[in-house]
Amino acid sequence: MSTLPEWPPNISQPELEYLTKLATTYALSHGLLYLPPHLPSGPPPPTQAPSSAIHAPLSIFPSPFPRELFERAQRLQSVYNVLYARIAQDAEFLDRVMGAEVGAGRVDVFTGELWKIWKNLRDDGIEQELQLGIFRSDYLLHVPDESSPMTLKQVEFNTISSSFGALSERVSALHNHLYASTGYFNSSPHLKRENFPPNRTTAGIVDGLVAAHEAYGVKDARILFVVQAGERNVFDQRWLEYELLEKHSIHIIRQTLSELSISAHLSPTRSLLISPSPQFPTNPSTTTEISTVYFRAAYTPTDFPTPQHFSTRALLERSRATKCPSIQLQLAGGKMVQMMLTKEGVLERFLTTGGETWEAGRGFTFGEVEVREVRESWVGMWGLGDSPPADSDIQSGISRAAANHANLVLKPQREGGGNNVYKSSIPPFLDKLPGREREAWIAMELIEPPAGVCGWLVRAGGGGGSGGGGVVKSDIVSELGIFGWSLFGPGRDVNKNGNERVMKTGDGGWLVRTKGRESDEGGVAVGFSVLDSVVLVD
């Protein structure tokens, strides 16, 4: 397939207004929500109880996506689940690529601080037991020219705070509801039940958290959600909390790093304990043991405004609770790791090498087919700090980026959106980038999404006006995210005596974020995208 169907289907203005009313009403009724923007004059977010909500940004129609490539993305996730678990267990590789002595952490202060925490733990002889990764692999469709077939290309791989899982399931349900209610007014032969793929993201992500909690083996322990103060995307997190409690009887504690700097401490056996606090009256009156630390924060420097915040992260890491992710798994999600995997032989080493090195992956073997499909999902990448061999005419990383800037994006070791540099902005950025800092950036060839696809997009809280005024038709680009999880490491199997290597993986559903083609960035939380789903086309 080289083209997608003409999109969106033609409908009348009254039909659009009716679909918009159904969509926003459904979203508000089914928890597809955001907290409204915080007023500077109001109480600070941590102490303000929510009194209102707005619907999340959403699309009226699901976006077309080739069935074969959607299924390939799902198939690839099982490989990625194991690949990044193995990377996280290779200290030598991560030290070289992300460390503060020779890797990206040497010039990226935030990355370097995280690596130092991990290095200090190793120097003290503390090994992580089980580690949990809740992952999301993001893809765009790629059509480099009119004569080329459409392919699937990875944008990035997320190892920390992989968000919008629960809300993505609800926007899928929303589009199913619009179809069930109206048939989308018979506007397209593609809009039929069998082309709406199932999406069980909430239960899939919770399966990973439950596996980690049960492996810890303490019945009354709780899962700790480490969250950001003033989080607007709180409902995406709350749906996971409700699923854990209602389906699995597992209780949650939510605290920020600032709150944990007061409440968290370790027992002599390194159990993570949370002291009771009057701020959290639903917590037990006694100290609570934590089985699993689930980070929905700590991925950006703004989460660490003081040295105390890094000390708190170190305390959590020192505990024997399962971290999601551990620092080493967070480092494995760095852009420099993504780039290094594209180099000859590196991916093969992680996926096809046998023996004791990959004891944690026992039973998870991959061959040439899986390696080829993973490699085919990548575009070209290189480090800005790359230097050519003395006898080579290959350009340095920086000069190569300057010469090819019109087809590139530059990426730092950051998550959360809004950090990249695109196209014509690259040359002046390179002119001002200090030489030493180049080692913390990668250059990545731009993915060329198919042209001619449009959509009706509704901004957050913007669909309630009369006449459908909150809906905008735009040329769009849709990014598919596939969730998965992996529990791995030298942990205690509760069904057996003694310790052994553990590896469990699972699927976690999918997410679509759609943006106007004029926007380079793709973050929903920072206002660039809307939540969407897919209609599969052949």
Is 204 marked as a binding-site residue?
A: no
Mean pLDDT of 469-498: 80
Q: Which domains does the chain have, with CATH numbers?
A: 13-379+456-537 (no CATH), 381-446 (3.30.1490.50)
Taking only the tens place, the pLDDT of each residue in 220-237 is 999 999 999 989 999 999
d(CA 185, CA 174): 16
Is 349 marked as a binding-site residue?
A: no
Taking only the tens place, the pLDDT of each residue in 51-79 is 789 999 999 999 999 999 999 999 999 99
Asked which of 142-151, 353-362, 381-390 is least confident by mean pLDDT, the reply is 353-362
Is 525 marked as a binding-site residue?
A: yes
Taking only the tens place, the pLDDT of each residue in 84-118 is 999 999 999 999 999 998 888 999 999 999 999 99
Mean pLDDT for the chain overall: 89
- Specify whether 416 is catalytic: yes
Kindly name the residue from 411, 478, 489, 508 that is annotated as catalytic. Answer: 411
Is 231 marked as a binding-site residue?
A: yes
Query: 3-class SS at 315?
Result: helix
Token couple for 148: 């080329």
Q: What is the pLDDT of residue 439?
A: 85
Q: Confidence band (pLDDT; 50, 70, 90) for 280?
A: low
| Residues 6 or more apart whose Cβ sits within 8 Å of residue 252 | 222, 223, 224, 225, 241, 244, 245
Query: 3-class SS at 505?
Result: strand
Q: How far is CA 49 from CA 42, 45, 53, 313, in A?
A: 12, 8, 11, 26
Token couple for 114: 């995280």
Is 479 marked as a binding-site residue?
A: yes
- Specify whether 163 is catalytic: yes
> Cis peptide before 325, with omega less than 30 degrees from 0?
yes
Is 341 marked as a binding-site residue?
A: no
Residue 389 pLDDT > 70, yes or no? no
Largest Cα separation within the chain, whole Å, is: 69
Q: Confidence band (pLDDT; 50, 70, 90) for 462?
A: confident
| Residues 6 or more apart whose Cβ sits within 8 Å of residue 5 | 64, 188, 190, 537
Q: Confidence band (pLDDT; 50, 70, 90) for 278?
A: low
- Specify whether 158 is catalytic: yes
| Residues 6 or more apart whose Cβ sits within 8 Å of residue 286 | 276
Amino acid at site 119: K
Is 186 marked as a binding-site residue?
A: no
d(CA 347, CA 520): 29
Query: 3-class SS at 410?
Result: strand
Query: 3-class SS at 514?
Result: strand
Residue 506 pLDDT > 90, yes or no? yes
Kindly name the residue from 222, 254, 335, 438 that is annotated as catalytic. Answer: 335
Residue 307 pLDDT > 90, yes or no? yes
Is 420 marked as a binding-site residue?
A: yes
Beta bridge partners of 488: 131, 503
Taking only the tens place, the pLDDT of each residue in 178-235 is 999 999 999 999 999 999 999 999 999 999 999 999 999 998 999 999 999 989 999 9
Residue 295 pLDDT > 90, yes or no? yes
Is 199 marked as a binding-site residue?
A: no
Is 335 marked as a binding-site residue?
A: yes
Place of tokens 């989460």: 303
Query: 3-class SS at 379?
Result: coil
Token couple for 411: 């990426």
Kindly name the residue from 21, 106, 119, 156 that is annotated as catalytic. Answer: 156
Query: 3-class SS at 194?
Result: helix
Is 195 marked as a binding-site residue?
A: no
Q: What is the pLDDT of residue 245?
A: 98
Is 161 marked as a binding-site residue?
A: yes
Is 379 marked as a binding-site residue?
A: no
Taking only the tens place, the pLDDT of each residue in 123-135 is 999 988 899 999 9
- Specify whether 513 is catalytic: yes
DSSP 253-265: EEE-HHHHHHHEE
Q: What is the pLDDT of residue 436?
A: 82
Query: 3-class SS at 3?
Result: coil
Q: What is the pLDDT of residue 41?
A: 58
DSSP 280-310: -TTS-SS-EEEEEEEESS-SSGGG--SHHHH
DSSP 145-163: STTSPPEEEEEEEE-S---
Mean pLDDT of 440-452: 93
Kindly name the residue from 204, 415, 463, 509 that is annotated as catalytic. Answer: 415
